[in-house]
Amino acid sequence: MSTPNTGVIHDIGYQHYEGPRLGRGYSMRSLYVHSVRSAYGLGRSAWAKVLPFALLGFASTAALVLVVVNTQLPTAVIDYVGIVSTFTYAATVFVAVVAPELVSVDLRSNLLQLYLSRPLRRRDYALTKLVALASAVFALYAVPLLIMFLGMAFNTDTGIGGVFDELGGLAKGLLAAVIHSALLAALGLPLASLSGRRVFASGMIIALFLLSAPVSAAVMAFGGDTLENLGGLLNPASLLNGVDQWLFGLNINLTFTGDFGPVYALVTAALTALGTALCVMRYKKVQS
């Protein structure tokens, strides 16, 4: 005796979405905002906020100290571009911790396939994450620069002319911060995207900056006159300091560039473009 087919389709109240489709642009903006917030631990646990805000607090406190010192001396100890060059080492630590948080978690938990199920494309995801990391690094530079500008502008002895001088210095500092942020993000994010484990991803980024520093220093110390000026190309921090010296006339000799300032600028631009391309290529091959 056969069992009759008694299957029933029940209406449990689901309705079709009939609202507007916001598209790729909205998805990229949402991913960007979420990523920048995640970089500083916003919307996450208190522990996730410790390092980003500790670095930001350290940089801001240093800027306040520099305001006091600069206003008490006849000539400024360090200018806006000098702050950016000096804080680059702290920014590398920031990138080593934050970059894996932005991409490694998505790789390990297979969230990428959820992002790509919407209008968002692989290239959109990669570029949005890269811009978000660069923006987070830029904020790390911009806050102390603004603090220094406000302190110096309110303490100027030359009236409105002094304020405009400080504004010009601030503009140079912000431009230097854009260059630093772009290169550090372009170097850090492709490395972070190679592993779904944050510890391994952070280790690769730290290794890049730590291992290249002594190699660069050795070349500058023992390589003769020409290699002394070109040795800074081997270390991202020294590379950026060389760009600051050539482009903005940085008066802190953290790197000896000689007549090779344009070479430092070209290498910085090339590495930024290469890192961006590698990041996009990496996500074209990630399985989702």
What end-to-end distance do the CA atoms of the chain give, in Å? 48
Q: How far is CA 287 from CA 52, 114, 122, 153, 189, in A?
A: 31, 12, 11, 53, 18
H helices present in the chain, as ranges: 23-39, 46-72, 80-108, 112-116, 122-154, 159-192, 198-222, 224-230, 236-248, 261-285
Domain assignment present for 159:
yes
| Residue 185: both structure tokens together | 């993000």
| Residue 256: both structure tokens together | 């000896």
Please tell me the predicted confidence (pLDDT) of residue 158: 76
Domain count along the chain: 1
Q: Domain containing 164: what range? A: 23-209
C-alpha span between 248 and 251 (Å, rounded)? 9
Domain assignment present for 183:
yes
Does this model's pTM top 0.85? My answer is: yes
Domain assignment present for 105:
yes
Domain assignment present for 276:
no
Please tell me the predicted confidence (pLDDT) of residue 115: 75
Domain assignment present for 160:
yes
C-alpha span between 250 and 131 (Å, rounded)? 27
Domain assignment present for 39:
yes
Please tell me the predicted confidence (pLDDT) of residue 54: 92
Give per-10-residue mean pLDDT for the chain (288 aa). 59 69 84 92 84 91 89 80 90 92 84 75 91 96 93 81 87 95 95 87 90 85 77 88 88 71 93 95 80
Please tell me the predicted confidence (pLDDT) of residue 188: 94
| Residue 145: both structure tokens together | 């620069």
Please tell me the predicted confidence (pLDDT) of residue 17: 66
Domain assignment present for 192:
yes
Domain assignment present for 264:
no
